[in-house]
A = this chain, B = another copy of it.
Amino acid sequence: MVQSRKTALKENWKRKSLKQPALGELALLQEIRARAAGMATSATVKSRVQLGIGDDCALLRPRKGEELAVTTDLSIEGRHFRLDWHPPESVGHRTLARGLSDLAAMGAKPVAAFLSLGLPRNLTVSTAGTRSWVERFLDGLLALAAEHHVPLAGGDLAESPIAIADIVLTGAVPKGEALLRCGAKPGDRIYVTGSLGGAAAELAALQTSPEDFANATESSAIRPHLFPRPRVAQAVWLRKHGLASAAMDLSDGLSTDLAHICEESSVAAEIDAAALPLGPGATLAMALHGGEDYELLFTAPQSAKLPPKIAGVKVTAIGRILPARTGRPRVVLLTEKNSKPVSVPLEPHGWEHFRI
């Protein structure tokens, strides 16, 4: 049995006294508070975060005419990441990226993040000149947070038999202007940002030889699985220009996520296999079902003029929205068989990771 107290060690990163404090944990709390306090945040973010770490709650102040988008994403050791596969920086980066990508799906600008962290004690210990697992986790998380100017405004910390991280992201969006899943109309074109399937391809390589990735960092190469790029700037651009009729982020894979848009919008869709922008090393199956690419999937009226790139990231038309018809599949894939065009139903098949 673990030794424990009735409350977690921390609420809102506020240090709580312990009868016999473990030095590593207290040092960790101090480090998190210091690093969160030292984060560079823009004046516009600061104006929305009235009170951060240090009281019972953080206080957020959306500006006049704004709504606050809220999302929460749970990452569990052995399920969303593995200690023997993923560098700690990648786990921290991915934890935050999942939440940022949900904000992007709504066209919201990040305001503040909250992190609940459960950790086995050994992950908080530094050994002989190396940084501890959690310090490297924070390196990855805070680097991405700094890039998106999103402060860590609170959270909770507890000892746990396995590593878990729950991330909460809050974002601002003008009232009534959030990008939703439900606005796609027949005739709309379907677009994706970036490329698809690269995350699944990199995960397959990681699974085969994790030692090749042990020291992977964000800057070392394109790392669609280990260091995905949430498309916040691209989504905010789309929202500001009023071009997207529906949007979501590609976390489960195109086949699954497009089915969600069709369901919520009461429409059907067809995808051109030849048009799909494949990521590095990706097969067609990975692009269709791989998931975790954290690209944007969106629809726009045929008349909308989309630029070839938004905020430096390419945009590709991959298909069309159709009217929903009884007896017709929700989503079909236009492809070729024996050099002849065929249309096959595209079932939602999220890529299965961590297979037994």
**Alpha-carbon gap, A54 to B62, bound state (A):** 23
Residue A141 interfacial (CB < 8 Å): no
- Contact across chains for A181 and B56 when beta carbons are under 8 A apart: yes
- Chain B neighbourhood of A117, CB < 8 A: 74
CB distance from A175 to the nearest CB of B (A): 7
- Chain B neighbourhood of A145, CB < 8 A: none
Residue A237 interfacial (CB < 8 Å): no
Q: Which residues of A (13-44) have their CB < 8 Å from a CB of B? A: 14, 16-19
Please judge, given known A-B contacts A116-B74, A156-B73, whether A56 and B106 are in contact too, CB under 8 Å: yes
- Chain B neighbourhood of A19, CB < 8 A: 349-350, 352
- Contact across chains for A74 and B292 when beta carbons are under 8 A apart: no
Residue A203 interfacial (CB < 8 Å): yes
CB distance from A255 to the nearest CB of B (A): 9
| Partner-binding segment picked from A3-11, A186-194, A270-278 | A3-11
Residue A295 interfacial (CB < 8 Å): no
- What 0/1 readout, one digit per residue, does chain A (155-191) give for beta carbons within 8 Å of chain B? 1111111101010111101010010111000000000
The residues of A with any CB-CB pair to B shorter than 8 Å are 1-8, 11-12, 14, 16-19, 50-51, 54-62, 64, 67-76, 78-80, 98, 102-103, 105-106, 108, 112, 114, 116-118, 153-162, 164, 166, 168-171, 173, 175, 178, 180-182, 199, 203, 248-249, 251-252, 256, 259-260, 264, 291-292, 348-356
- Contact across chains for B56 and A168 when beta carbons are under 8 A apart: no
Jot down 9 A-B pairs with beta carbons below 8 A, ordered by A: A3-B354, A5-B351, A6-B351, A8-B73, A55-B248, A56-B103, A56-B181, A60-B68, A61-B67
- Contact across chains for B80 and A8 when beta carbons are under 8 A apart: yes
| Chain copies in complex | 2
CB distance from A25 to the nearest CB of B (A): 13
Please judge, given known A-B contacts A57-B70, A76-B158, A118-B76, whether A251 and B11 are in contact too, CB under 8 Å: yes
CB distance from A65 to the nearest CB of B (A): 10
- Write the chain B residue with the least CB distance to A118: B76
- Chain B neighbourhood of A158, CB < 8 A: 74, 76, 79-80
Extra contacts besides A7-B292, A70-B153, A72-B114 (7): CB < 8 Å: A6-B351, A7-B98, A8-B76, A12-B102, A16-B252, A56-B248, A162-B162
